[in-house]
Amino acid sequence: MAAAGHRTPTGASPVDGYRQLHAASLADPGEFWLHAAGAIDWITPPTTAVDASSPPFYRWFPDASLNTSYNALDRHVEAGRGGRAALVYDSAMLGAGRTYTYAELRDEVALFAGVLAGLGVGKGDRVLVYLPMIPEAVVAMLATARLGAIHSVVFGGFAPAELAARIRDARPSAVVTASGGLEPGRRVEYLPAVHEALALAGSAGTPVVVKERGGFASGVGDYREPGTHWVDWDEAASGADPAAPLEVAATDPLYILYTSGTTGAPKGVVRDNGGHAVALAWSMQGIFGIGPEDVMLTASDVGWVVGHSYIVYGPLLAGATTVLYEGKPVGTPDAGTFGRLIEQHHVTALFTAPTALRAIRRADPGGDAIRTHDLSSLATLFCAGERLDTGTSEWIGGVLGVPVVDNWWQTETGWPICANPRGLGGVPLKPGSPSLPSPGFDVVVLAPDGSPVPPDTEGSIALRLPLPPGALTTLWGSDERYRDSYLRAFDGFYTSGDSGYMDADGYVFVMGRTDDVINVAGHRLSTGAIEQVLARHPAVAECAVLGLQDPVKGQRASGYVVLKAGLSVDPVLLEAELVALVRTAIGPVADFRTAIVVEALPKTRSGKILRKTMRQMAAGETYAVPSTIEDPAVLEALAPLLRPLSAP
């Protein structure tokens, strides 16, 4: 399916045609994105694509207006597709689910928008959403957008202090939460955390809407105290009037999303309404190849950017069906969960993080649990969130029997910087690469002095300004902090913070964060490149490589590997094999001599390995356990293995 009037040139090869399309998006972004804007229903259609009058701050579609919630729901109902499945809720935790048609979801959203309006929420106000993976999370986001308000979704289960920091920064007019969330083997109580966070933030009087879930220790009635305003979701909805979608400027904020792992004051990424809608609509067609007849399962959380873009907004803007999954890739009940979801819901596209695939591989190296299911509906597996190593990619591709397509992007960009345009016919896949830059993203690899590096030379990956529609417009409440965080390193460029290289064909290879490049006796080496080698070993499920201080060579690489389930190996022999692999693939210059078997690697809830924290522990530095950590016990178990290595 071609995207919004843009087709690859007739007679051109897929890769040449796409290169011409990408070049056109850079040469004349106004023409390109005004065409793409045709996929959106506007109240006031745009005549200008970008306002570049105040660089480095750019505004997309400055003369246009719309409502994002209307575009995600009402317009499909009005086009006669109200009976089409919009949202499929599947809870492996409860063994339950529900399907909402577009008409049903629109009505739920309109009603809850009425609840928020009754609490005084209006255009430009903020609504903090602190919910688990239940339909009400999607409803709350879309209801906020319906009123022209700004939602800020915080991952359910964040500690009170972290939640309070976001409340202080966003100053919400209302908080939407639930009794709690479900994790394998435990229940996480939300209401005590919300109550404490509001007190810490000095916002105890902020209205709180609670979706009651059975089986939790506390309920909304426990917090109806003098000076507070806690209401039950269902009670409030029963007396509310549905709210109509409100017209907002394309440049008005749609949401604030705080970046994971922040220290100090949180960084709130601001996304606008118009550019966001246009970019996601284009990506659904051009990159993911998803249309109204398709079903998309994005195995993420609505608290992360992937959940915002490809659980909620992207599929609904495209008129497709989106699956909201409450569960894990393994253990709910087994490593065949994704196969069950694909078969039961006729999933066309699965989007998940490499860490989920590695967890499945570790639990079921043969992929037998997934193969017991009918996978015939699945066309493509998409990955993002961490670097996809070639071993995992080849393994899951063999299990599912479909192309495995990596894509690279960030919370800040909102949609893929680099991807394989499957909806335009695709381009050849290269192992280890998320393929080519997406339209509007002018990707360059720079040396420390800001000069471009030759092909196949690693450097800092940067994006030439202006960023395309859908990317962040600033940080909430601080334009200057936006400049300092992203724009200072290289004049005229957004600094991604990732290192990598571009080959002679223009394919981008992302190797890791720029601080994951180590200097061994004057040789700059990517820890990501070493990790790629370690991951090839048949016993290794996942790994992390750190640069540790060395009194002679400055730094040295040390590897930490997790074995596949059920394997028992001699750690001394395995270390020798891994050292030999690195020596063969990268060379003696890597000076790789240490590979330690560990039970698990510390990760954020979105699947990113906490390499920086591990480095700080190994160096004996003061470190803070990130608020986004999935399991603090993993760091505790690693401590004895890391601390001795900090000494010369």
Q: What is the mean pLDDT of residues 604-625?
A: 82
pLDDT tens for residues 443-456?
Answer: 999 999 999 999 99
- CA pair distance 420, 417, nearest whole angstrom: 10
Say which range, 227-236, 253-262, 396-405, 495-504, has the weakest mean pLDDT: 253-262
Higher-scoring residue by pLDDT: 266, 373 = 373
| Structure confidence at residue 520 (pLDDT) | 73
Asked if 33 and 49 count as a contact pair (C-beta separation under 8 A), the reply is yes
Query: Average pLDDT of 483-495?
Result: 94
Amino acid at 499: S
Q: For the residues 151-176, what does the mean pLDDT come to?
A: 92
Interval 288-325: pLDDT, tens: 999 999 999 999 999 999 999 999 999 999 999 999 99
User: Is the pLDDT confidence value at 490 over 90?
Assistant: yes
Structural domains in the chain plus CATH codes: 521-646 (3.30.300.30)
Q: Is the pLDDT of residue 434 over 90?
A: yes
pLDDT confidence band for 185 (50 / 70 / 90): confident
Q: What is the pLDDT of residue 522?
A: 56
What is the pLDDT averaged over residues 616-627? 82
Three-class HEC string of 171-188: CCCEEEEECEEEECCEEE
pLDDT (0 to 100) of residue 2: 37
**What mean pLDDT comes out for the span 478-505?**
93
Q: Which class for 478: exposed (0-12), middle (13-18), buried (19 or more C-beta within 10 A)?
A: middle
Judged against a pLDDT cut of 80, whether residue 648 lies above it is answered with no
- What is residue 243's predicted lDDT score, i.e. its pLDDT? 98
Q: What is the pLDDT of residues 43-89, one digit of tens each?
A: 999 999 999 999 999 999 999 999 999 999 999 999 999 999 999 99
How far, in whole angstroms, is CA 179 from its chain's centroid?
25
pLDDT above 60: residue 552:
yes
- pLDDT for the residue 223: 95
Q: Look at residue 513 in the predicted model and tell me its pLDDT.
A: 76
In the chain, the percentage of residues whose pLDDT exceeds 70 is 94
pLDDT above 90 for 227: no
Q: Which pLDDT value is given to residue 10?
A: 55
DSSP 212: -
For residues 228 and 204, the answer to whether their CB atoms sit within 8 Å is yes
**E-assigned strands of 278-328?**
295-298, 321-326
Residue 550 has pLDDT above 70, yes or no: yes
92 closest CA partner among 305, 368, 331, 266: 331
Q: Highest-confidence range of 459-468, 508-517, 604-613, by mean pLDDT? A: 459-468
Residue 605 has pLDDT above 90, yes or no: no
Q: What is the pLDDT of residue 326?
A: 97
Q: How far apart are CA 389 and CA 597, in angstroms?
A: 19
Give the ranges where 66-186 is alpha helix by DSSP (H): 68-69, 75-76, 102-118, 135-146, 160-170
Residue in 425, 92, 135, 97 with CA at minimum distance from that of residue 286: 425
Quote the CA–CA distance of 415 and 280 in Å, as a whole number.
7
Residue 159: per-residue pLDDT: 82
